[in-house]
């Protein structure tokens, strides 16, 4: 039995191994959370309101981060982006309850609100325009309103993706945002996805003003 540990010592060693394994599984953590907003059913695919979903799918593809895990009422994956470990999250709660997915995910990874980036549509911006903000009110966007309520703060970044305003004041807002973009507007929007990816990287690196100066147009 040369080299064998006495039984008490072996038990301690096994307990230590179990403890360390548990510690690694819960402390792997993440630096940032990026969430794309939208509605989950196929009938909402390619609608204006799902601009955030589509942008997040682009990030997932570029960063080789399949969104194939299910938790917090959403689909998610993790990626290493430069020096940052990033959680990409697609809430499946429907737009108006997005915060019920984002807040638990941020809490699990102990990610503070100022390390959350939300990708969402914006009817005040023309297709192809982006607006990057480090914080702010919901501005009438129900998804952002839910996130603010769930996090208890407005101190999270958002990249608002232009989908264009209603053609006239009488046009039903729900019908507009749940409608699909015409081809030229869709191209203007999708052409900005690489800019969104770069903007997210700049935000995570602490270069907010540079990102705003470069991409807020």
SS3 of 82-97: CCEEEEEEEECCCHHH
Q: Which runs of E-coded beta strand occur in 63-173?
A: 69-71, 74-81, 84-91, 116-122, 130-133, 157-162
CB atoms within 10 A of CB 213: 11
Backbone angles phi, psi at 112, to 5 degrees: -70, 160
Residue 111: is it exposed, middle or buried by C-beta count within 10 angstroms (0-12/13-18/19+)? buried
Q: Which of 49, 115, 129, 141 is catalytic?
A: 49
129 is catalytic: no
Q: How far apart are alpha carbons 217 and 212 in whole angstroms? A: 9
Q: Which two tokens stand for residue 22?
A: 């548990």
Q: Which two tokens stand for residue 81?
A: 């982006």
158 forms beta bridges with 118, 133
Active site residues: 49
């Amino acid at each position: 039995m040369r080299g064998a540990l006495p039984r008490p010592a072996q038990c301690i060693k096994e307990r230590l191994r179990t403890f360390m394994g548990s510690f690694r599984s819960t402390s792997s953590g993440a630096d940032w959370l990026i969430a794309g907003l939208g509605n989950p059913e196929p009938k909402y695919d390619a609608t204006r309101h799902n601009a955030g979903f589509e942008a997040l799918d682009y990030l997932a593809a570029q960063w080789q981060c399949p969104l194939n895990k299910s938790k917090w009422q959403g689909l998610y994956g993790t990626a290493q982006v430069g020096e940052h470990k990033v959680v990409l999250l697609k809430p499946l709660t429907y737009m108006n309850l997005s915060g019920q997915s984002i807040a638990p995910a941020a809490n699990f990874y102990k990610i503070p609100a100022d390390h959350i980036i939300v990708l969402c549509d914006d009817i005040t911006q023309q297709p192809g325009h982006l607006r990057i903000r480090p914080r702010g009110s919901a501005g009438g966007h129900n998804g952002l309103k839910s996130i603010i309520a769930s996090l208890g703060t407005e101190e999270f970044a958002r990249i608002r993706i232009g989908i264009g305003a209603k053609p006239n004041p009488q046009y039903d807002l729900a019908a507009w945002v749940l409608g699909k973009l015409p081809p030229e507007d869709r191209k203007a929007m999708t052409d900005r996805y690489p800019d969104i990816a770069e903007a997210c990287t700049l935000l995570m690196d602490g270069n907010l003003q540079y990102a705003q100066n470069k991409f807020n147009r």
